[in-house]
A and B are shown apart, each in its own frame.
Chain A
C-alpha cells in the first residue's frame, strides 16, 4: 500500500513537468502578448518591455529558466499584475474557490446521497419519479442559466440576497448554483449503484442470515453502492475546489477560476503556468486519494 502511494506520488513530478511544458508551448504558440493592446506600441517601447521581462533571450534559455522556476515552485511575478508574485495570487484566490467549492460539495453530497438512497429504496414511487426528474432537470440546466435565474429571483425581485461579490450572504447563490449539477449527478449515480447492489447476491445472503434491514443497508449496501459515486466525486471535488470559471464570473468571486481565465486572455505566462502546475498537482493528488479510498470501500480491491 505504502509503496503504491510513494510510486504514485513520484509519478506526479514528471507528469506535472510534462503538463507545464505542453502549456508553455501552447502559450508561446498563441499569437499576441501580455502587452498587446488596441494601440500599437512603438518598436523602442516593445524592446524595453522585452528586455525588462527577459523575453529577448533565446527560447531555450527562457524554457530553461521557466523549468527551473517550476521546480523551485517560484514562478516570479505575474506579467500583467506585476506587483504580485504568482504564488501570492494563487494562494490568495484559492481559499475563495475552495470555500465555495467545499460548501457546494457538501451540499451536493447531502442532497444527492439522501435523494439517491431514498429513491433506490422506494423505487418507482412518487418520490423516486419526482426526485429523479428534478435531477434530470438539474443535469440539463447549465449553471450559467441557473445562476442568473437564481439572481433574478432572490436578488433582483425579492432583494433577499446580494446578486454578486464575496460576502457571507453573497456566497449562498453561487454555492447553490455550483452544487445543483453535482447533486443531480450524485443522486442518479447513488440510485443506480444502490439498485444494482441491492439486487446482488451478498445482500441477499446478508438478509438470509437474518440481519436487520438497517445493518444490511448501512454496513453492506451503501458501501458497495457508493463506489461509482466515489469515482465521480473524487475528481469532482478537485474541480470544485479549483474554482469554476462560469460561476466565479457570474458572481464576481475573486477565486482561482476567475484569475485563470483572465491569465489566459491576458497571455500572462507565469500566472498560467503557476495555476496549471497547481491544478494538475491538485487533480493528481485527488485521483490518488480516490484510488486509495476504493480499497476501503470495496474489499475486492487491494493495492500492492
Chain B
C-alpha cells in the first residue's frame, strides 16, 4: 500500500510541476504581442460576438451583442461615428431640425438599395417604424421611440376619443391649457403634418376597465362623457321605451325622468327642453351607484363589452377588499398613531360609481336611440413618421428631445425590408430569405457556431467598405474567448470580457488591450420604500463610507463614479457639471478645497455623524467602529451571481465594516431570479444595478429616477426632480439644457436614491493590425470603417491613446460622408 501511495504521490507531483511550468511559460510577457499575432490570409475580420444573437430582426432583440451584428447588416437614417458615436449620415444624406427640436426632416440618398437590388425609399422608413411600434411585433425596445408622436399610444393599443365629430385633446382636460400655438411652417405642408401639428389628442387605454379608471377620477374628462341633446339620435323612441318601463333599467329611468319629457312621443312634440330633460335623466342614471348594485344586472341581456367591464370591476373590487382586509389586520397590530394613519391611507375605495361604465352600458342598451362615444384605435398611420416624397422623411415628436437624433442610430430604428417580411412572415430572417441593407449581407449562418457576412455590392457605399467580410463567432465563456484570441484564431472580441484574473497580465500589452470608460454605470440601488433606507441620512452615510478611488484601483478595469451619470463621456456635460458645481459651492459657501474633497463622495467621519443623527449612533473603540443600533437583520446587499459582483460586494462590505462598523450581509441570486426581485422592490436594503446608456446623452442616466415607473430600481419618485428634468428638456440651447440637467443631477445626488460606484470600462482586446475599431463609449461599431493593415509599421500602438490619434484613412472616409451635410 505504501508503494502505491508513493507512486501516486509522485505522479501527481510530476503533473503539478509540469503544469505550473507550462503556465509560467505561457504567461511570460517577453513578447510585444499577446500570443500569436499573424495577419489573417483573407481580408476578413474574425470577431467574437458573445452570446448567440437572439434574432437577426433588429426590431426583436435588445442586446448589445446583437446591436453589433445589426450594425453590419442594417442601416438606418444615421450611423455611429466610429469614435464619438454621434450620428453621421447614412441613408439620410442630410437633415434639418425644427427650431423647437420636435420635428426632423431627412433627405435620403437616391442610390440606397437592399441587398437584392430593390431601391430604398422613404416608404421603407415609414413601414419600418410602424412595424416596430406595432403591438403584434412585440418589440422589447419600442419604448425607446416613445418620443415619436402617438408611438406610445399605438404600441400600447390605446384609443382616441371622438365626441360629436371632435377629438378630445390633451388641452381639453389639462388643468391649465397652454395658449394655442400657431404651427410654424417646417418643410412641405401635408395632411399628415396638419394632423400631427393639431393639438395633441387625448389617448386612453384600450381595455374598458382601464378606460373607466381613467375617466372616473378626472372631472374635466368626465364632463366630455355627459349626455347632451346631440347624443340623442332618436329622442321619441327613447321616451317611448322609458315610458313603457318593462325591465328594471327603464323602470329606474322612468322613475327619475320628469313625465313631461317622456310625453314627447313624436318628433314634433319633442322640444329642446324635453330633450334636455331626457339627457339630464340619462346623466343622473350614469352617475348612479344603482346599476352595479343590481343583481339582475348580471342576468339581463349583456353586451360583451358591458359584461367584461362588470366582471373586471367585480374582480378589481374583490382584490381591493382582500388588500384592505390585510391592511386592517396590520393596523390592528400597530400602536403608533401616525403610522396607523399613514397605513390607513393606503386603503383603496371600491369602484362603485362607474359613471363611464354606466354610460357605455346605457349606449348599448339603447343602440338605436343614443349616439355612442367613438373610441378610435390609434393606428400605425397616426404615428409621427411621414414620407413627404420618395426621398424625404419627416419625424414628428410629442415633445422637444434634443438627443433624439443620437437615438436614431439604435438598432430599433434601422430599416427592415417590407417586401421580404410580407412574403415570408416570421421566417424572413432565415439565411435563405433574409434581405439586408447594411455594408454587409448574410453569407452563412450556423447558430451557436458562426455568422459569416460578406460585403454587399448593392450597398450605396460599397466602394468604401474596407473588409471583404466579417465572421462573428458566438462564444460565451470568457476564458475560451481569451484562449481563441491568444491562439490567433480571432482578431478581436467583445467588451467586458477579459477575466479579472487575466487583467493584470493582459494590460501589459499596450498595443492590444482596450480599456477606456464606457457609457455605462454601476451602482447600488437603495430600497427607499423600506426602513432604514427610507431615511436620506442613512443612504448618504452608506455612500460616504465607501472609498470609490480604492474600489476602482481594486477593480483595475473601471473608473470611480461620483455622480448619477458617468463623467468623461459627455465633454460638454462635464463642463456644465463643473459650472453648476461651482455655483452650488458659492451658494453654500464651501471652500474650494473642501468642495474638491466632497466631490469624491468619501467622508467616513461625516458618515458616522449622519448615522448618529438618523438614530444609529456609531461607537468607537480604538481603531474599530461598531453600530449596535443598526438593524443589520433588515438589510442585505443583493446581487446577481457573478464573480466580479461578489468581489465588488465584498470590497464594499469591508469598507462599511471599517468605516461605520456595520456588517451588511451579502445575498446572491441567479440573474433572472434577481431582476424581478429587484424591480418589484422585494430586496432588503441594497441591490446592484448596471445601466448602459441607450444613447449619447446624460439623460439616459438621469431619466433613471424620473417619474413613477422608472428604471432606477429604488422606488424613488420626486416631483421636483421630474419638473427640473422636464424644464431642462424643453430648453433649446444645448449648453443651457445641460446646465439645467446638471442642477437636477446635483439635486438627486443629495436625495441619493442610489449610490454611485463605478464607470465600467470597455475591457476587450484587438490585434494591432485591426484598424478603425475603436474602444468608444458604447463599444458599437460602424463596421465599414474597419480594415486590416498589412504593413506592420502602420499597426496600432499604445491603444490607451487611440482616441487622440487620427487615422488618415478613417478621417478621409468620415469627411466624405459628412460632406453631404452642408453647413
> Are A148 and B139 neighbours in the complex by a CB distance under 8 Å?
no
Q: Which residue of B is nearest A134, CB measured?
A: B11
> Are B152 and A149 neighbours in the complex by a CB distance under 8 Å?
no
Q: Mark B53-88, 1 if CB is under 8 A from A, else 0.
A: 011110010110000000000000000000000000
Minimum CB–CB distance from A252 to chain B (whole Å) comes to 4
Any B CB within 8 A of the CB of A44: yes
* Interface-lining segment among A77-85, A106-114, A276-284: A77-85
- Which residues of B have CB within 8 Å of A164? 475, 480, 483-484, 489
CB interface residues, A 246-263, toward B, < 8 Å? 249-252, 254, 258-259, 262
- Which residues of B have CB within 8 Å of A30? 672-673
Any B CB within 8 A of the CB of A200: no
Q: Which residue of B is nearest A89, CB measured?
A: B447
Any A CB within 8 A of the CB of B288: no
Residue with the highest number of chain A CB atoms closer than 10 Å, among B447, B476, B713: B447
- Which residues of B have CB within 8 Å of A91? none
- Which residues of B have CB within 8 Å of A132? 4
Any B CB within 8 A of the CB of A136: yes
> Are A48 and B672 neighbours in the complex by a CB distance under 8 Å?
no
> Are A249 and B477 neighbours in the complex by a CB distance under 8 Å?
yes
Any A CB within 8 A of the CB of B426: yes
With known contacts A44-B155, A165-B473, A133–B11 Cβ distance under 8 A = yes
> Are A153 and B22 neighbours in the complex by a CB distance under 8 Å?
yes
Residue with the highest number of chain A CB atoms closer than 10 Å, among B135, B480, B713: B480
Minimum CB–CB distance from B122 to chain A (whole Å) comes to 27
CB interface residues, B 123-142, toward A, < 8 Å? 135-140, 142
A84 to B427 alpha-carbon distance, docked (Å): 8
Residue with the highest number of chain B CB atoms closer than 10 Å, among A53, A165, A258: A165
- Which residues of A have CB within 8 Å of B722? none
Minimum CB–CB distance from A80 to chain B (whole Å) comes to 6
With known contacts A44-B157, A48-B138, A93-B448, A39–B480 Cβ distance under 8 A = no
- Which residues of B have CB within 8 Å of A80? 54
Any A CB within 8 A of the CB of B292: no
Any B CB within 8 A of the CB of A18: no
CB interface residues, B 22-72, toward A, < 8 Å? 22-23, 25-26, 35-36, 51-52, 54-57, 60, 62-63
Any A CB within 8 A of the CB of B617: no
Q: Which residue of A is nearest B489, CB measured?
A: A162
With known contacts A81-B55, A164-B484, A37–B138 Cβ distance under 8 A = no
- Which residues of B have CB within 8 Å of A24? none
Any A CB within 8 A of the CB of B217: no
Q: Mark B468-505, 1 if CB is under 8 A from A, else 0.
A: 00000101110110011011110000000000000000
CB interface residues, A 221-270, toward B, < 8 Å? 249-252, 254, 258-259, 262, 265-267
- Which residues of A have CB within 8 Å of B334? none
A92 to B4 alpha-carbon distance, docked (Å): 47
Q: Which residue of A is nearest B449, CB measured?
A: A254
> Are A152 and B19 neighbours in the complex by a CB distance under 8 Å?
yes
- Which residues of B have CB within 8 Å of A65? none
For B138, give its contact among A45, A165, A254, A262 (CB under 8 Å).
A45
- Which residues of A have CB within 8 Å of B12? 137
CB interface residues, A 35-58, toward B, < 8 Å? 35-45, 47-49, 51-53
* Interface-lining segment among B264-272, B307-315, B675-683: B675-683
- Which residues of B have CB within 8 Å of A252? 473, 475-477, 480, 484
For B486, give its contact among A156, A165, A251 (CB under 8 Å).
A156
- Which residues of A have CB within 8 Å of B35? 156
- Which residues of B have CB within 8 Å of A148? 479
Any B CB within 8 A of the CB of A59: no
A151 to B481 alpha-carbon distance, docked (Å): 12
With known contacts A151-B483, A254-B449, A36–B62 Cβ distance under 8 A = no
Minimum CB–CB distance from A84 to chain B (whole Å) comes to 7
- Which residues of A have CB within 8 Å of B690? 38
Any B CB within 8 A of the CB of A157: yes
Minimum CB–CB distance from B694 to chain A (whole Å) comes to 8
For A250, give its contact among B142, B480, B672, B673 (CB under 8 Å).
B480
> Are B711 and A39 neighbours in the complex by a CB distance under 8 Å?
yes
Any A CB within 8 A of the CB of B15: yes
Any B CB within 8 A of the CB of A274: no
Any A CB within 8 A of the CB of B3: yes
CB interface residues, B 447-479, toward A, < 8 Å? 447-449, 473, 475-477, 479
Q: Mark B679-721, 1 if CB is under 8 A from A, else 0.
A: 1000000000011000000000000000001010100000000
With known contacts A30-B673, A259-B448, A159–B36 Cβ distance under 8 A = yes
Residue with the highest number of chain A CB atoms closer than 10 Å, among B4, B449, B671: B449
> Are B140 and A156 neighbours in the complex by a CB distance under 8 Å?
no
With known contacts A45-B138, A51-B138, A133–B711 Cβ distance under 8 A = no
A166 to B480 alpha-carbon distance, docked (Å): 13
Q: What are 23 A-B pairs with beta-carbon distances under 8 A?
A: A32-B676, A35-B140, A36-B676, A37-B140, A37-B675, A44-B155, A44-B156, A47-B157, A83-B56, A83-B430, A92-B447, A129-B3, A136-B8, A153-B19, A155-B483, A156-B35, A156-B483, A157-B22, A166-B449, A249-B477, A252-B484, A254-B449, A266-B672
Which residues of chain B have a CB within 8 Å of any CB of chain A? 3-4, 7-8, 11-12, 15, 19, 22-23, 25-26, 35-36, 51-52, 54-57, 60, 62-63, 135-140, 142-143, 152, 155-157, 426-427, 429-430, 446-449, 473, 475-477, 479-480, 483-484, 486-489, 670-673, 675-677, 679, 690-691, 709, 711, 713
- List the 8 closest pairs (A to B, CB-CB), nearest first: A32-B672, A44-B156, A254-B448, A163-B483, A52-B138, A48-B138, A254-B449, A133-B8
Which residues of chain A have a CB within 8 Å of any CB of chain B? 30-33, 35-45, 47-49, 51-53, 77, 80-84, 89, 92-93, 129-130, 132-134, 136-137, 148-149, 151-153, 155-157, 159, 162-166, 249-252, 254, 258-259, 262, 265-267
